[in-house]
Chain A
Amino acid sequence: GNKQTTLTSFFTKK
């Protein structure tokens, strides 16, 4: 199946 990713794994926290 498909797993929903989150943005925190693509963008860095400032």
Chain B
Amino acid sequence: MFEARLTQSAILKKVLDAIKDLLTEATFECTDSGIQVQAMDNAHVSLVSMNLRSDGFDKYRCDRNLSMGMSIAVMSKILKCATTNDTVTMRAVDNPDTIEFMFDTPGKDVQAQYEMKLINMDQEHLGIPETVYSCVVKMPSQEFARIVRDLSQFGENITIACTKEGIKFSAAGDTGTANVKLAQTADSGESDSVTIEMQESVKLSFSCRYLNFFIKATPLCEQVQLSLSNDVPLVCEFNIGEIGHIKYYLAPKIED
């Protein structure tokens, strides 16, 4: 039997908002240590790697390892039916065909129950090598979201260049160019700080379309971490409260 409970459904609602535009379906791997998802978009340009630790749940039980194929669209519809303060419980039997979502509203004697059919999935799983990145940048997630939105108006790609001086985002198109530069802040660890750990300067271009999907995770946490090395995929990481993280990988654009 599998059972996972969160007293506030808000976090799970935000998680679904962060993946629903990128993924149509995904396998949720449930083990004693938590829930893991690794899934690529249909074009294999980006990948979502998500981890929700069992100790982050208010109640967690997983007697047997389960691989549950879920429609992200349906799961998102179900979670829209919960209010942010509702307690959410996910439950499945061993070898399940369905997963159950239950919402309890505090102080009310109302329980809503939704059952979702699982799907058989034949998903490609990728081995992601441990990488030491040339630049690791931490910056306010809202600032990052704003830059991605603003620059997307001027071109299809955003070029990210990182040096000791700071990080520069640029876009260029038929109508002109746009550049936003951020310097490292004096203090670190604050929600509005910008920190740069650099071994080597980098310059890479990425599709705005995907970066706009990633910034849907902004409500999850105040800081985003960008890991960059020349000619390898970008990692864009958001913490999911105290319970886990979501990492987006994005393949770079390369000169023809």
State whether these chains interact.
yes
Q: Which residues of A contact B (CB under 8 A)?
A: 1-14
Contact across chains for B126 and A8 when beta carbons are under 8 A apart:
yes
In the complex, B256 has a CB within 8 A of chain A: yes
| 22 cross-chain CB contacts under 8 A | A1-B256, A2-B205, A2-B256, A3-B255, A4-B253, A5-B252, A5-B253, A5-B254, A6-B43, A6-B44, A7-B40, A8-B124, A9-B251, A11-B127, A11-B129, A11-B233, A12-B126, A13-B125, A13-B126, A13-B127, A14-B125, A14-B126
Question: Given A2-B157, A4-B45, A6-B43, do A13 and B253 touch, yes or no (CB 8 Å)?
Answer: no
Which label, helix, strand, loop or mixed, suits the secondary structure of the A interface? mixed
| A-B CB contacts (within 8 Å), total count | 58
For A9, give the chain B residue with the smallest CB separation. Answer: B251
Question: What 8 pairs between A and B have smallest CB-CB spacing?
Answer: A2-B253, A11-B126, A14-B125, A5-B251, A6-B44, A12-B127, A3-B256, A14-B127
Contact across chains for A10 and B251 when beta carbons are under 8 A apart:
yes
Question: Given A13-B125, A13-B126, A14-B126, do A7 and B47 touch, yes or no (CB 8 Å)?
Answer: yes
